[in-house]
Amino acid sequence: MINASLKELSAALADKRISSTELTQLYLDRIARLNPDLNAYITVDAERSLAAAKAADARRAAGNAHALTGVPLAQKDIFCAEGWRTTCGSKMLETFVSPYDAHVVTRLEKDAGMVSLGKTNMDEFAMGSSNETSYYGPVQNPWDRSRVPGGSSGGSAAAVAARLAPIATGTDTGGSIRQPAALCNLTGLKPTYGVVSRWGMIAFASSLDQAGPMGKSAEDCALLLSAMAGFDPKDSTSLERPVEDYARDLEQPLAGLKIGLPKEFFADGMDADVAKAVDEAIAEYRKLGAEIVEVSLPNMKLSVPAYYVIAPAEASSNLSRFDGVRYGHRAAEYTDLTSLYKKSRAEGFGAEVKRRILIGTYVLSHGYYDAYYLQAQKVRRLIAQDFAAAFAQCDVILGPTSPDVAFRAGEKAADPVQMYLSDIYTIAVNLAGLPGMSLPCGFAQRDGKRLPVGLQLIGDYFSEARLLNVAHQYQRATDWHQQMPEGL
């Protein structure tokens, strides 16, 4: 049952071969056994989850169930959930229990009737590419416990990879769904900016943050995205569009599809095993009838520096509310109001969050705004124009998700620039607001362990259904996505 797809779980619940209570207990038992080592979850409340499962069983018995009613899921600890502790991976919010639900939580748990198994670990305030900046400790990659699962949605990725949940939510500001999906052999989708509401999602960089699904297959992601997307009047950046059925095109053949390969993605810097796996995936797409064309994204090299101006600038503004007075941790000892602010923020934030707040405050300061922030916004526009030109020549862009497989814990912790380059292939998608996804395309051998390689697909605005179709057809022809870590 732990390897079943969402469609298979839904059918099993509908046919009464298993109840939601039994299914939820199965996952809770695995969490109790494996989470103490993996550290994928920050908060688990078995009593609460079983109560939700019981309510889901009653809803199915009453005949008013959604297709996903009773299916368990893991929620990234960045989403506020009424009555659940919501920490965002930070000491700053260690004791915060949300009085309300994020829109995503309402859609999935209240409207669809899915059952939350708990809140998953993450880099503090979603700032990181390795899940090592969490106040609650690092997450282990289930494929090799000495390596990172990626970040910032590494807890969600590890939970699904180790079958501690059938599917999970994540958020992606610069690749935080796609990179951990690649490093943990999952399928993860970052939708077009505005497709999923950010209301109730603790903000890192508001013009870049986007929630999305992380699962074992494109089909699972399509079903979850259909349940979590939709217009939300409480979010001014939410797009007022009809809710789509993102699974509608999964079975469409790929004959005639034009796949663009940006030459900048295949320059120096990519690991040889990653390059080999991506080349084999391209060959598989050719067999499926796709035409491969070369495209160019000439400003791709500027995406990392532009991102690390814009994202910290927005973070320094968003995190100013956590001062020990309005929100967050308050220092026990202080002498005056200024001392209260300083000590509360010094104690509540970790080193990476402080670094980004300082960078963001600097680039927004008088005399430097034009030189840094304004220039970065101009680069952002150029990157979006590059993608528009590329999509005039192709339907989908293909490339690697990450330049390498999962690295060892602590390997890049002392070098922030090397850590930031982990997202070199994913950041441009967020700057342009486009949809992108990662799916498994092979393995590389490291120290006797098999480590997953991720393939990235990028689409034009609102082409999520097409992306999922392209990924699903590849997953029908291959079995990379069905493989799971040994010993679990």
Instruction: Classify residue 93: in a domain, yes or no.
Output: yes
Instruction: Classify residue 479: in a domain, yes or no.
Output: no
Candidate list 176, 238, 402, 438, residue with the active-site label: 176
Candidate list 152, 153, 156, 463, residue with the active-site label: 152
Active site residue 176: yes
Active site residue 152: yes
Where helices occur in 140-185 by DSSP H, the ranges are 154-161, 178-183
Q: Which CATH number is 144's domain given?
A: 3.90.1300.10
Cα pseudo-dihedral 5, 7, 13, 14, rounded to 10: -160
Q: Tens-digit pLDDT profile for the chain (488 aa)? A: 899 999 999 999 999 999 999 999 999 999 999 999 999 999 999 999 999 999 999 999 999 999 999 999 999 999 999 999 999 999 999 999 999 999 999 999 999 999 999 999 999 999 999 999 999 999 999 999 999 999 999 999 999 999 999 999 999 999 999 999 999 999 999 999 999 999 999 999 999 999 999 999 999 999 999 999 999 999 999 999 998 999 999 999 999 999 999 999 987 788 999 999 999 999 999 999 999 999 999 999 999 999 999 999 999 999 999 999 999 999 999 999 999 999 999 999 999 999 999 999 999 999 999 999 999 999 999 999 999 999 999 999 999 999 999 999 999 888 887 788 788 999 999 999 999 999 999 999 999 999 999 999 999 999 999 999 999 999 999 999 999 998 88
Note the residue count of the chain: 488
Instruction: Classify residue 441: in a domain, yes or no.
Output: no
Instruction: Classify residue 186: in a domain, yes or no.
Output: yes
Instruction: Classify residue 300: in a domain, yes or no.
Output: no
Evaluate the omega torsion of the peptide bond into residue 422 and state whether it is cis, within 30 degrees of 0. Answer: no
Range of the domain at 185: 6-256
Count the domains in the chain. 1
Instruction: Classify residue 440: in a domain, yes or no.
Output: no
Candidate list 10, 19, 76, 217, residue with the active-site label: 76
Helix (H) or strand (E) holding 168: strand 167-171
Instruction: Classify residue 221: in a domain, yes or no.
Output: yes
Which residues does 276 contact at the CB level (< 8 Å), separation at least 6? 442
Instruction: Classify residue 328: in a domain, yes or no.
Output: no
Which residues does 382 contact at the CB level (< 8 Å), separation at least 6? 299, 302
> Left, alpha or beta for 39 (phi > 0: left; psi -120 to 50: alpha)?
left
